[in-house]
């Protein structure tokens, strides 16, 4: 996002939200972090600056950005490869600041047009994009990791997006009777129905994979400090630090998901509330061990 703003001097929050496919709130949250980015000792001349005047955004760079960047050949080729991987993602701007910067770097390395990065495409990704473009309802066999179950359902695909390093399909699910996100790599098969649907006029790209609902169970778990990754990796509603421990309240949409988390943490995880969930980890562990016993 920073090269995009820098190349245009002044842009609006709305433009950034449209270009990068996220909400205006997410753009503002990201820009608020920017002034904390820099180098020690984090004095004003070592930090980046951002000015938001109404809806307009402009940048002021720290002084070290004005110095030429010196890279070793290995660092340069690694940067070129990573940049081309980003350009290979559908929706990337082939003529934007990233492409222009990579061309200059390739010239400096003497590697212009000698490096080709091809990303493997997931099964069904192209067909889902095609169905979304013509507004055609499809039938999918889908594995839900949270519920540890596979189902067949009809959906109206709105479009494919990338979130947190994964491809997701946003669609209206006729089984759930509501909009849902489906991870593309968990779609086992897809069948075109030949029936079209009328997409809603205000389909907005999601800015997060999981959105809690009032129906989801809130589970409070006492964890060892070594398992703080749980609070950093999953949706939580509260985090309480204690000596050598951390108590988190997790939003749980399905019991199998919580079982996997607790088994990954190990015996140091203790469910506090609700009471009827305190035996989740022990029951899951017993069930897993019984499978090994049956194989012997």
Taking the C-alpha atoms of residue 230 and residue 246, their distance in angstroms, rounded to an integer, is 10
Q: State which H helix or E strand residue 161 sits in.
A: strand 149-163
Does 217-295 match 125-196 at the fold level?
no
pLDDT for 139-156, tens place per residue?
A: 999 998 878 889 999 999
Residue 296, pLDDT above cutoff 60: no
| Domain regions of the chain by residue span | 2-109, 125-196, 217-295
Cβ atoms 245, 222 nearer than 8 A: yes
Which SS3 state, helix, strand or coil, does residue 70 take?
A: coil
Class of domain 217-295: alpha beta
The CATH architecture that domain 125-196 belongs to is Roll (2.30)
229 membership: H or E segment, kind and range: helix 229-233
Inform me whether the pLDDT recorded for 194 exceeds 60. Answer: yes
The per-residue pLDDT of the chain, averaged, comes to 85
Higher pLDDT among residues 277 and 253, named by residue: 277
pLDDT at residue number 295: 66
């Amino acid at each position: 996002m920073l090269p995009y703003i820098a190349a245009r001097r002044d842009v609006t929050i709305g433009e950034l939200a449209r270009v990068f496919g996220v909400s205006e709130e997410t753009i503002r949250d990201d820009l608020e972090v920017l002034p904390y980015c820099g180098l020690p000792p984090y004095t004003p001349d070592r930090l980046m600056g951002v000015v938001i005047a109404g809806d307009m955004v402009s940048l002021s760079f720290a002084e070290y950005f004005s110095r030429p960047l010196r890279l070793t050949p290995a660092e340069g080729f690694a940067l070129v490869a990573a940049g081309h991987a980003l350009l290979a993602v559908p929706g990337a701007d082939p003529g934007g600041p990233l492409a222009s910067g990579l061309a200059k770097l390739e010239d400096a390395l003497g590697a212009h047009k000698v490096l080709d990065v091809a990303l493997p495409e997931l099964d069904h990704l192209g067909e889902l994009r095609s169905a979304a473009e013509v507004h055609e309802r499809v039938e999918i066999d889908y594995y839900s990791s949270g519920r540890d179950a596979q189902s067949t359902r009809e959906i109206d695909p709105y479009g494919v997006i990338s979130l947190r390093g994964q491809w997701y399909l946003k669609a209206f699910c006729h089984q759930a009777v509501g909009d849902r996100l489906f991870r593309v790599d968990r779609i086992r098969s897809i069948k075109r129905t030949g029936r079209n649907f009328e997409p809603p006029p205000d389909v907005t790209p999601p800015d997060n994979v999981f959105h809690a609902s009032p129906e989801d169970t809130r589970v409070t778990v006492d964890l060892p400090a070594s398992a703080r990754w749980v609070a950093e990796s999953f949706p939580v509603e509260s985090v309480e630090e204690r000596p050598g421990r951390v108590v988190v309240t997790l939003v749980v949409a399905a019991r199998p998901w919580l079982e996997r988390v607790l088994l990954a943490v190990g015996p140091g995880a203790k469910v506090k509330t609700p009471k009827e969930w305190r035996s989740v980890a022990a029951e899951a562990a017993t069930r897993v061990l019984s499978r090994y016993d049956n194989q012997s």
